[in-house]
Structure formats: structure tokens, C-alpha cells
């Protein structure tokens, strides 16, 4: 007795070519590739990704990289955080006066 059922799927010719190429590159059958794609689709539907947040994080990372801040040590990061907090505290105290 079979544990799977055969279905028919229609794809535009170019998409079929890309799909076949991808299957060959990954040493998979078309069925395996489609099953994996469906598994990933189901997972994304269960836990949607916040693409805006990901884009914002990448922008921050790229900005840090361009500014040379992606190579800070943990101690340097702690020092930056401390300095920023001190500056903020000074501004708050000045506003309170």
C-alpha cells in the first residue's frame, strides 16, 4: 500500500526549467523538492517573519559595517553603552533644572 498520492501540478515552462535545474543541483527529485517547499511554506505560515524588522536590522548592520563599528570588542561595546547612558542622564538632569 502506498503512503503517498500522486498529483499533477501545472507550471509555466520557465518555472519548470528553473525547478528542474534546482532539483538537479541539489540532487533531489522534483517530488522531494516540492515536498520541501511545501514544508517550508507551512512553517512560514505558522510563524510569519517580520520582514520589516529584518530589513531594519540589516540596515543597522550595514551602517555599522560602513562606520567600522562591526569590529568592536565586548569591552568597547560596554564602554559605548555606558558613555551613551551618561550623556542621556546629563541631558535629563539639565532638563529637570
Instruction: Give the largest CA-CA distance in the chain.
Output: 82
- Under the banding of pLDDT at 50, 70 and 90, the label for residue 44 is confident
Task: Return all residues near 23 (Cβ < 8 A) that are at least 6 apart.
Answer: 29, 30, 32, 33
Question: pTM, whole model, 2 decimals?
Answer: 0.47
- Looking at residue 69, the DSSP 8-state letter turns out to be G
Query: If DSSP codes are grouped into helix, strand and coil, which group holds residue 68?
Result: coil
Residues constituting the chain: 97
pLDDT > 90: what percent of the chain? 48
Residue 19 · residue 33 · CB < 8 Å: yes
Query: If DSSP codes are grouped into helix, strand and coil, which group holds residue 72?
Result: coil
The whole-angstrom distance between residue 34's C-alpha and the CA centroid of its chain comes to 22
Residue 88 · residue 96 · CB < 8 Å: no
Task: Return all residues near 9 (Cβ < 8 A) that are at least 6 apart.
Answer: 34
Give tens-digit pLDDT for 47-62: 777 888 889 999 998 9
Amino acid at each position: 500500500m502506498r503512503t503517498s498520492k500522486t498529483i499533477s501540478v501545472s507550471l509555466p515552462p520557465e518555472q519548470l526549467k528553473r525547478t528542474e535545474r534546482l532539483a538537479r543541483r541539489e540532487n533531489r527529485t522534483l517530488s522531494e523538492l516540492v515536498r520541501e517547499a511545501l514544508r517550508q511554506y507551512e512553517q512560514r505560515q505558522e510563524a510569519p517573519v517580520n520582514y520589516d524588522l529584518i530589513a531594519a536590522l540589516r540596515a543597522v548592520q550595514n551602517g555599522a559595517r560602513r562606520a567600522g563599528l562591526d569590529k568592536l570588542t565586548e569591552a568597547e561595546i560596554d564602554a559605548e553603552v555606558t558613555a551613551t547612558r551618561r550623556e542621556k542622564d546629563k541631558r535629563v538632569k539639565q532638563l529637570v533644572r
